[in-house]
Chain A
Amino acid sequence: MTSHKPHRDTIFLEEAEILSHEAYAGEQYILRVQAPLCAERALPGSFVHIQCDRSKPLRRPISIMRASAKQGWVDFLYKAVGEGTRLLAQRKKGELLSMLGPIGVPFKLNPERSIPLLIGGGVGMPPMIFIAETLAGNPAYKPMVILGSEVPFPFKPQPSSILVPEMPEGVIASMPLLDDWHIPSRLASLQGFPGCHEGYVTDLARHWLSELSMEARTQVEIFSCGPHPMLEGVAKLAAEFDLPCQVSLEEFMACGVGGCAGCVVEVETATGPAMKRVCVDGPVFDSRTVFPS
């Protein structure tokens, strides 16, 4: 029989009005919708399950980038990669989007680790931005953000006003919004964008970690979201430096609420391999359990 069931009534179905929908290079879009129930409860790492269009009714998962509990809006950054996201890209300001959220186990900050290293790649940047915003103005944490993209960034990179002596010379480009929050960030790309590290985010992160004092290094915890090969690299880096690391994973989804077991990934557990659902057991996992070395 039931007693208290804490999972009940934690995800909300909303008809979210599109407040703005901006296109960026590389078929990237930043979408803001009015979804107050989701905005109030969203946490870094949570995602929503969006019906891109009535003609393609199976929903698509998209991470939350920012949320204003006060004003009730939620922001997303997504890339049009297939039929669903291309249909989403056509939706206009003022239209309603059917949205289910917030969903998922969020990133967990550890008070024992005061230096969160946030590594985001491509459309894996949103959860990193969300973590950064929750840390803005919090003197207990000194985060470092490293973002990578192989298409132009969906913001105008600018030389950072925050000095990071551990970064290679010339790597000065940053995300202005993060600078505004007084959070240091640096960018990486193989495309040779000015002020960016020419290479992988993991190379830049390795450089930064190597330059840190031993003491500072013991304070680092890595948080990451991005393409699978990048996350594999990040997990390797974490293992190399013996750092805890949380990664946000992707898999195709149907229900988004734990009902269909369609979205699983293989995870190492104390009792052997298990298939965990990305939607409600994740999307955030301990990197050692999904990329065992």
Chain B
Amino acid sequence: MTTTSDSPLAVDFCGLRFNTPLVLLSGCVGFGEEYTRVAGFSNRDAGAICLKGTTGAARLGNTPHRIYETPEGMLNAIGLQNPGVDKVVREILPTLDFTETRFIANVSGSTIEEYEEVTRRFDDSPIDAIEINISCPNVKEGGVAFGNDPAMSARVVEACRKLTNKPLITKLSPNQTDIAANARGCIEAGTDAFAVINTLMGMAIDIESRTPIIGNNQGGLSGPAIKPVALLKVHQVYQVCRDHGIPIIGQGGITTAEDALEFLIAGATAVGIGTALFYDPLICGKINRGITAYLERHGLQSVQQLTGTLALNSPRPARTCC
């Protein structure tokens, strides 16, 4: 789909223009070119593409099996297989066509120093924005994910913020008690935007061998199964972001235009598509068309008018019966 500047689908995201509100999610589309193998797929159908999680040194990733289908979703434990930031910046970025869409780096690490190193390298590159994947285990704190702890999350954001003026997107984990508190800390630490949510941790077991199916024992759950959780988290984070004008890329289980619209209404400015691409590689065109039809039906000129338009019910306070 080619969109013009007055396209109803175009959104402004931290000063970047996205052709459409769709963002292809990190880990699902390699380093930006993989899906173009499919005839009919175009990077132009997405407003932005998040590249695979990138670390300081190259990583081989986890032992197989790395993925497994579960009811209404899937588990994955890829283990951040990537060629290292230097190779990504020097060899991969120059092959990408930045006229087609915006490209967002996904910065990952085991230590704050590694997050810093990767951010510094991407800052000095043509990448359009930097997403910090704080769901990685902190090796210095016994392997607890940075993102599960508000203080550690803020420390990563603060460190990266010092090293770049590019739009900085913090990707929040659902595997924590108070996502809104975490978001507040990340805003204070200087984040420009949020991605909400990363995968929920899960497991699947082979009952014959009595071993976990995933080589890494546990993996991240994605797909429609996590959509209601993701929607609530977007709603909660939006309450914190609204007054700061901080945009959210809502994600988790979106497979239809209706799903995408729910996320926009809950408070997202853009919406992520990950697992749905595995189901249907040409899904973006369909979702874009579905959103356009909805805007027409509701007499809206721009998809941006939808963000955060959720009108909450007023539940009655709890009452005892009789």
Contact = CB atoms under 8 A, between A and B. Distances in A.
B60 A274 contact: yes
B49 to A, nearest CB: 11
A51 interface: yes
Contacts of B195: none
Contacts, number: 115
B64 A265 contact: yes
Given A58-B279, A261-B78, A275-B81, A252 B66 contact: yes
Interface string B75-98: 010100100000000000011011
Interface stretch (B11-19, B23-31, B183-191, B264-272): B23-31
Given A51-B279, A254-B278, A255-B277, A262 B66 contact: yes
A151 interface: no
Contacts of A275: 60-61, 81
B37 A8 contact: yes
Contacts of B279: 51, 57-59
Contacts of A265: 64
Given A7-B36, A261-B30, A264-B81, A13 B281 contact: yes
A273 B277 CA distance: 29
Interface residues of A, number: 39
A275 B52 CA distance: 15
B39 interface: yes
Interface string A5-24: 10111111100000000000
B23 to A, nearest CB: 14
Interface string B274-312: 010111111000000000000000000000000000000
Across the A-B interface, the 9 shortest Cβ-Cβ residue pairs: A262-B67, A259-B34, A258-B34, A57-B279, A58-B69, A2-B97, A9-B39, A8-B36, A259-B30
Given A9-B36, A256-B278, A266-B60, 7 more contacts: A10-B37, A253-B67, A258-B37, A259-B277, A261-B52, A263-B66, A264-B66
29 contacts: A1-B99, A2-B95, A7-B33, A9-B36, A9-B38, A9-B39, A11-B37, A13-B38, A13-B40, A13-B281, A57-B279, A58-B69, A252-B65, A252-B67, A253-B67, A254-B74, A254-B76, A254-B278, A255-B277, A256-B278, A257-B37, A258-B30, A259-B30, A259-B34, A260-B78, A260-B278, A261-B27, A261-B66, A275-B60
